[in-house]
């Protein structure tokens, strides 16, 4: 009898090598795509169901990132020959599938962006380091791969299985979790319809319509890093340099902690212009409930 050897490298572009399976060896059936362990929130269970409903749909690089979450035609990624056909394949890339799953689960587009954005989401209620493995994970948790910049994401199902849009030329599938290589850890998304729990005392939730550069003060003199698009907390506001144009502008700056700091810089206590608030008008600085953010 021959022994099957499978080598899988984590992340996009994984390779599989098989050595001499015997002709009589029975193939192993892929596990059913569903919640495979107890403990997940209702939102997480709905996200799993939404992702599993896409089993067999094409992976398409850039797919799933239209104005409304859902499968779209992708495009060539610039280096993978299998990606040259993605413009004719309607489907998802890895983050597009995750975006769609949690959109269906919550009714809100809470995970818009690429895998790196989703890793840094403000909708996380728990984070798990790579060394913790899959032990503490629940169905619906997001698993990530990448060093420095996150390049792949999948949704945990339980029982050591996940669902993912893997790479060009393949379809949405289930697979065993991959904890080696550049596995970067996991994130649990808020289980209450996409709204994170109340922030700690002295913090206020806001919604930003785009990623915003954070600065050392209420001006653009010293950039420190980036605050991701989406739900974020801020501490207070201070008047500063105008950002925008004659029609759309804001003089308020919001003190916050950035998602990503530039090399050699600290992202804590930085300032981001209130121009990037998604719901309010000129020179307004309010949280998601319409409450004016207090002065610093």
Element (H, E) at 48: helix 42-52
**Which residue bears the tokens 């608030």?**
277
Which residues are designated catalytic?
94, 152, 164
DSSP code per residue over 62-93: TTT-SSSSS-EE----SS-GGGGGGGG-EEE-
- The DSSP letter of residue 292 is B
In contact, 214 and 258? CB cutoff 8 Å = yes
- Nearest residue to 71 (alpha-carbon basis) of 53, 49, 48: 53
- Nearest residue to 122 (alpha-carbon basis) of 212, 219, 251: 212
Chain centre distance of CA 43: 16
Q: Which residues of 216-266 form beta strands (DSSP E)?
A: 223-227, 230-234, 236-244, 249-256, 260-261
What is the C-alpha to C-alpha distance for residues 2 and 12, in angstroms, rounded to an integer?
29
| 250 strand-pairing partners | 243
Tokens of 240: 């500063």
What is the C-alpha to C-alpha distance for residues 65 and 121, in angstroms, rounded to an integer?
16
Give me the helices (H) in 56-180, please.
94-106, 115-119
Phi and psi torsions of 122, nearest 5°: -80, 0
């Amino acid at each position: 009898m021959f022994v099957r050897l499978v080598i899988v490298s984590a992340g996009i572009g994984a390779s599989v090598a098989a050595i001499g399976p015997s002709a009589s060896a029975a193939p192993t059936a892929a596990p059913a795509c569903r919640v495979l362990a107890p403990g997940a929130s209702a939102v997480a269970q709905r996200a799993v169901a939404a992702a599993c409903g896409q089993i067999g749909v094409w992976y398409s690089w850039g797919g799933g990132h239209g104005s409304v979450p859902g499968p779209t035609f992708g495009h060539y990624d610039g280096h993978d020959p299998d990606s040259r056909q993605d413009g004719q394949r309607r489907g998802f890339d890895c983050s597009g599938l995750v975006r769609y799953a949690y959109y269906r689960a919550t009714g809100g587009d809470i995970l818009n962006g690429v895998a790196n954005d989703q890793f840094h989401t403000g909708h996380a209620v728990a984070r798990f380091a790579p060394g913790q493995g899959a032990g503490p994970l629940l169905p619906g948790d997001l698993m990530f791969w990448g060093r420095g910049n996150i390049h792949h994401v999948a949704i945990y199902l339980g029982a050591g299985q996940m669902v993912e849009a893997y790479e060009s030329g393949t379809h949405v599938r289930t697979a065993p979790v991959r904890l080696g290589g550049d596995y970067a850890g996991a994130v649990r998304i808020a289980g209450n319809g996409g709204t994170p729990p109340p922030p700690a005392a002295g913090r206020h939730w806001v919604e930003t319509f785009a990623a915003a550069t954070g600065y050392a003060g209420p001006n653009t003199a010293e950039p420190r890093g980036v605050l991701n698009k989406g739900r974020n907390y801020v501490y207070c506001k201070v008047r500063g340099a105008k950002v925008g144009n004659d029609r759309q502008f804001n003089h308020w700056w919001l003190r916050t902690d950035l998602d990503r700091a530039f090399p050699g810089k600290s992202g804590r206590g930085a300032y981001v212009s209130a121009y990037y608030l998604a719901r309010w008008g000129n020179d307004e600085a309010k949280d998601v409930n319409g409450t004016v953010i207090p002065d610093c």
